Every structure is written in C-alpha cells, then in structure tokens.
Amino acid sequence: MPQTLFDKIWEAHGVGRRADGRDLIYIDRHVLHELHAPHAFEQLKNQERPVRRPDLTFSMQDHTVATLPGRNDETNPPGAAFLRAMREGSERHGIRLFDIDDPEQGISHVVAPELGMVLPGATHAVPDSHASTVGGLGALAFGCGTSELAHILATQTMALKRPQRMLVRLEGRLAPHVGAKDVALRLIGELGVAGARGHVVEYAGAAVRAMPIEARMTLCNLNIEMGGRSGFVAPDDSTFSWLAGRPFAPQGAMWERALARWRTLASDEGAAFERECELDCSTLEPQITWGTDPSQVLGISERVPDPGHADAGRRAAMESALAYMGLAPGMPLAGLPVNRVFIGSCTNSRLPDLEAAADVVRGRRVAEGIIAMIVPGSTTVKRAAEALGLDRIFRESGFFWGESGCSMCAGGNGDRGEPGERCVSTTNRNFEHRQGPKVRTHLVSPETAAATALMGRITDVRQLRQG
C-alpha cells in the first residue's frame, strides 16, 4: 500500500507498543533549553534515573539570555538561575551545552539545523512548541512538555498516539517581497488556529519546492500556530546541498550512504492523507495580523474586518481582539503609527531573513522615535551577518543589533515593549501581553518589519521599494 513520508518515518522509528496502547517512537535528536530542562533534570534526580543517550542530546541557552553586547549570566537577573541550573544539569549528565558565551549559542530551532544535528527522515524533539521548525529539512519533530522531556531523557523515546496526516499543497509562484512568512500566515488565516490539530502536515507543491531551506523552516515553524502536531517538507536536492559539510552531519563515505537513503524519503504516489488542502500563492500580498491570534490576519492592502459581518461564534473574539489592539472595523492597517519593531525569533532570524531586511534598510534611517531591534537567531548567524557588513547597515540606520536569543518573542529575557505600544514583529505569536503587558503585536515578514521601522508606520514594503 502506498505510504506517506510521515508513515515511513513513524514506522522506521517504532520501537514497540506500550501496555496503554501508545507507540514508542525513538527520538534521534533531543535538544533542550534552559526554561524547561532544569525541572526535568530535577525530576530525574529525584527518581535517580540516568539520561539514556546524552550523546544524542544537546542543551541550548536561549529563552532567558540577555541580548545586550557584553552580556553575562547576570545581565538579565531572573535568567541567571535558569542558566546555572542548565549548566549543572547538562554537566551532571554529560550533555553538550551551548552556553551563553559559546560561539555557536543560539535559539535551539536555529542552531540544531545549522550545525547539522537535524537530518532528513530523523526524529527530533524539543520542549518547545516550535520544534517543527526543523521540518524544513525533512525531519519529523515534536514539541513536548516538561514531563515528556524527562521521559525522553530517560528512555530516548516518546510515547505517542499516532497522529493523522494532512497534505498542504502550496502552488504558484510568490510575487516579489512575498515570502514564507506571508504564506504561512495566510494559511493559518484560512485554516484557523486549530485547523491542523491532531495532524502531522506535509507541505508540498511548487511554492514549497522553490523555497530555500531557511524559508521552509519559517513555514514549518508556524505549523503549531494552526495547531499541527508536526509539519515538514520532504527533502530534495536543496536540502542535501544545504546540509552537506555541516559539522554534526555525517561526512565522507557515511554521507554518501545517508544520502542514498534520504533520496527515498518521499510520499508514495497515491498515498492517503486524512485531509488535503491547497493554497494558490501566486496572488498573495504581504500579510499582517490585525488581531490577537495568528489566524486574525489580512493582506497589507486590506481593511480590518467587521465583527458584525462575522458568524456569531467568532464575533465576540473579534470584538475583544479589536479592543485590545486599538483598532476599528474598516480601517486600513497600512499607515498606522507604531512604537517598536522587532526582527528575530525562531521564525525569522536566519541569515536570509536578515539579508532581506538589510536590503530594505540599506542607506535609510529608522524613523524618529521608533525603537527597532534586530536579534540574530544564533551567534553563528550573527557572525555571518557581520561578515557581510549587515550589522553596519542596521546600526547606521538606527537599529539595535543584539546578541542572539529568543529576546522579545516571549520576553523571557526581559526584552519587551511598554504598555499600550504597537509593535510590528517577525515573531510567531501576537497573543495578548506576550511581548509585554498591553503590547499590541502585529506579525509580519522581515521585509515588512524593516519597511515599517523606516517609515514609523505600518508599510507595504512593495511601495517603499518602488519609491
């Protein structure tokens, strides 16, 4: 019977079936971060259980690290205890730690792929809901909670119920200045924040094939914002050439052997998915969220919707979102003054994201009174950007150029906006208060964020680039 790629990876990683009917799925790579791992280390200590495969486990310091140059543990005082507990736990168990001052430190979802820890057809877990970012390389990744994290440390498996399968075909060719972020936001807008709940999504179609690997990661990163259990893109030649030579990827003869296997990683013709949907991406314009969840999104030239025209079930949520965001039905978002712009997070902080933003910014200045921040997703990305002179472009135009970490995405390190501020952000969640109490977040692509910083108002990057 024809199989989907998900089925193939799932079955290849099936260790056994537990008494409670759950499948034990082997986890090839497990990446931890300091916000949640310390609690799991403590649990293992209390239970006197060892870590089964420290050699397949990696620790990152990302959520609570400060972004100020010259930072140390104490720069963000509440983070210090987390950083130390992470250090102690990792050392106790012999887990390689990418510490705050490591030249390859960064956000787990950025570092693991760029160092080649993630491989096509492999399984991956992170105690973070955006784990499926690495699906951009054709890996099957699961976000998990703290108890599951401890379970993986002790057993190198997850006990899962088999999810359903969903195929999302993204067809057509993207217009200039429209990218993976815009595609993902539109898709979430179409399917809703629970649209893929219980499903593992395979992203396919011409628009996906044309995306560079970093863009595929942006797409897969946002999979959880439509509730997906996991999401990935089947690997192809772009995947393989992107991975070749990365430090933790197989090398030499082993690479050739792996490659032969990876070339078989695709869904079979006629394989069945429980759900399928298609989005024509050729007419998409840059997208921006207007509300307080990522599905409340519109094209940059569109107007804020009227809850009065929505179905009764959604009306109350729309009204409360409009009130929180300080918006009225029928108004355009373009032209709206903002206070803050943030470019970063596991969604949009890889080198091509920064390059796209730099192309917009080059030779111009951030508008008066706007706080604009760029935080690279990893120290490796930061170095690469600096080698290209991007940091100078950003600094000269008035952007803050930070040290790598999660920063304003969830504010776990104290970077956040002031009450009432309007913030245009390349992150993944526009939930109420996420970027600071009462902060009004609009999610956009790096290009839209950069254009908005320059104008001090929400801006259609296509118009700026023409002018």
Residues 379-398 binding another protein (CB under 8 A) are none
* Paired tokens of 404: 């790598």
String of contacts with another protein for each residue 44-73, x by CB under 8 A = ---x-x--x--xx-x---------------
Find the angle CA(241)-CA(157)-CA(154) to the nearest 5 degrees: 120
- Judged by beta carbon distances under 5 to 8 A according to partner kind, the member of ligand SF4, another protein, none in contact with residue 117 is another protein
Alpha-carbon distance of 177 to 465, in angstroms, equals: 9
- Judged by beta carbon distances under 5 to 8 A according to partner kind, the member of another protein, ligand SF4, none in contact with residue 346 is ligand SF4
Query: What residues have CB less than 8 Å from 309, skipping those under 6 apart?
Result: none
Asked if 401 touches another protein (CB under 8 A), the answer is: no
Residue 52 or 93 with smaller CB distance to another protein: 52
CB of 257 to another protein, least distance (A): 8
Is the CB of residue 223 less than 8 Å from the CB of residue 196?
yes
Residue 88 or 280 with smaller CB distance to another protein: 88
- Judged by beta carbon distances under 5 to 8 A according to partner kind, the member of ligand SF4, another protein, none in contact with residue 156 is another protein
Q: Which of residues 55-94 bind ligand SF4 (CB under 6 A)?
A: 62-63
Asked if 345 touches ligand SF4 (CB under 6 A), the answer is: yes
- Judged by beta carbon distances under 5 to 8 A according to partner kind, the member of another protein, ligand SF4, none in contact with residue 5 is none
Asked if 409 touches ligand SF4 (CB under 6 A), the answer is: yes
* Four-CA torsion 56, 62, 64, 67, nearest 10 degrees: 160
Backbone phi, psi, residue 87, to 5°: -60, -50
Is the CB of residue 459 less than 8 Å from the CB of residue 438?
no
- Among the residue ranges 84-92, 114-122, 383-391, 405-413, the one whose residues contact ligand SF4 (CB under 6 A): 405-413
Find the angle CA(272)-CA(165)-CA(154) to the nearest 5 degrees: 135
Asked if 156 touches another protein (CB under 8 A), the answer is: yes
Is the CB of residue 461 less than 8 Å from the CB of residue 450?
yes
**Which residue in the set 132, 428, 435, 445 belongs to the binding site for ligand SF4 (CB under 6 A)?**
428
What is the amino acid identity at position 193? Answer: V
Q: Which of residues 284-303 bind another protein (CB under 8 A)?
A: 293
Query: What residues have CB less than 8 Å from 385, skipping those under 6 apart?
Result: 351, 354, 355, 376, 391
Asked if 18 touches another protein (CB under 8 A), the answer is: yes
DSSP-derived pairing of the beta strands 14-17 and 275-280: unpaired
CB of 89 to another protein, least distance (A): 11
Binding site for ligand SF4 (CB under 6 A): 62-63, 107, 109, 128, 130, 345-346, 406, 409-410, 428
